[in-house]
Amino acid sequence: MGLSFDYVVRETVSNLRRNFLMTCAAVLTVAVSLSLVGGALLLKQGVSKASLQWRGGVELSVFMLPDASPSQSQAIERELAQMPEVKRFNYVDQQAAFSEFQRMFANSPDLVESVEAKDLPPSYRIVPKRAEFVDSVGERFKNQPGVKEVVFARDVVETLLKVTRALQIGIIAVAGVLLLSAVLLILNTIQLAIFARRREVGVMKLVGATNWFIRVPFMLEGMVEGLIGAGTAFAVVAVVRNLLAGAVGDNTLGNQLLPPSGDVIGTGIFVLLAGMVLGTVGSAFAVRRFLDV
């Protein structure tokens, strides 16, 4: 017996209506759990964006004055090259610093437009041979001519981690519990739908219906529940992100942690796929475990 599109749609809609309250509960649980997952992912992306300048093992940065002379920059570079404590260093000119600034503050176009490359200080990004050399290397350059300031990675990164580590762990833990609840709710909803139609299923088997002919509408029901919940989560995450964008205003840390809209879209696509998989897996398990055909 072959499957037809009309049959699958009709049976799926019928199952959703028959267990309306359970369906709503499953959809809401999926929506809440995936909203938390999406929020945690965006927070992680925000931390990655905020720590952009510290990638590659960079432990400290020596920021030069925007108007530092070539001779002053060359003196810093020569000293870095001669220091045995320095493993490697990289010079970031004003144009590269401006490109980095644009990525870090992509959420604040007014701020980006008010700054030009010439306003930003060039810098030397330094990777010491051992972590204990960080302070001694930094101290060598604090009072050098042409140096604006020396910034240590641990000061910035530790602040970011303090703000986000506990929050991420809490969000993921709650989301994990809710995701498990969502799977169980979807499984229970499908089980109830199968039980309510047990006589019809028996008759269908007697007239030659295949296992997949019977299973597909139930599995599609779970996928639709997961997809609706995921779509709701996508909308919630996007709205909350936009509200936060307005709330943080010109706050530097807030803008750095806030992911750009492109990341929200990418996270939303992941959430939609996760919702579909979540619903399909829950329903497939229910059909396999409780549908004896």
Compute CA 127 distance to the chain's CA centroid, rounded to the nearest angstrom. 28
Instruction: From 120, 153, 186, give the residue that closes a domain.
Output: 153
The residue range of the domain holding 98 is: 53-153
Asked whether residue 168 falls in the same domain as residue 269, the answer is yes
Instruction: Write out the H or E segment, with its range, that includes residue 80.
Output: helix 70-82
| Of 102, 95, 97, 152, the residue nearest 123 (C-alpha) | 97
Asked whether residue 164 falls in the same domain as residue 46, the answer is yes
Residues 75/145, Cβ–Cβ less than 8 Å: yes
Residues 6+ apart with CB under 8 A from 251: none
Instruction: From 104, 120, 153, give the residue that closes a domain.
Output: 153
Asked whether residue 137 falls in the same domain as residue 247, the answer is no
Q: What pLDDT digit, counting tens, does each position of 145-199 carry?
A: 888 988 877 666 566 666 667 777 777 788 788 778 877 777 777 777 677 666 7
- Report residue 141 as tokens: 């350059």
- Burial class (CB within 10 angstroms; exposed 0-12, middle 13-18, buried 19+) of 154: middle
- Report residue 198 as tokens: 């047990």
Phi and psi, residue 246, nearest 5°: -75, -30
- The single-letter code of the amino acid at 218 is F
Q: What's this model's pTM, rounded to 2 decimal places? A: 0.60
Residues 240/32, Cβ–Cβ less than 8 Å: no
Phi and psi, residue 175, nearest 5°: -60, -40
Q: What pLDDT digit, counting tens, does each position of 7-51 carry?
A: 667 777 776 777 777 778 888 888 888 888 888 888 777 776 665
Confidence band (pLDDT; 50, 70, 90) for 256? low
Task: Give how many domains the chain has, as a whole number.
Answer: 2
What span, in angstroms and rounded, lies between the C-alpha atoms of 256 and 213? 52
Instruction: From 113, 131, 153, give the residue that closes a domain.
Output: 153
| Of 130, 119, 105, the residue nearest 53 (C-alpha) | 105
Asked whether residue 172 falls in the same domain as residue 259, the answer is yes
Q: Lowest-pLDDT range, 128-137, 198-207, 210-219, 232-241?
A: 198-207
Asked whether residue 247 falls in the same domain as residue 282, the answer is yes
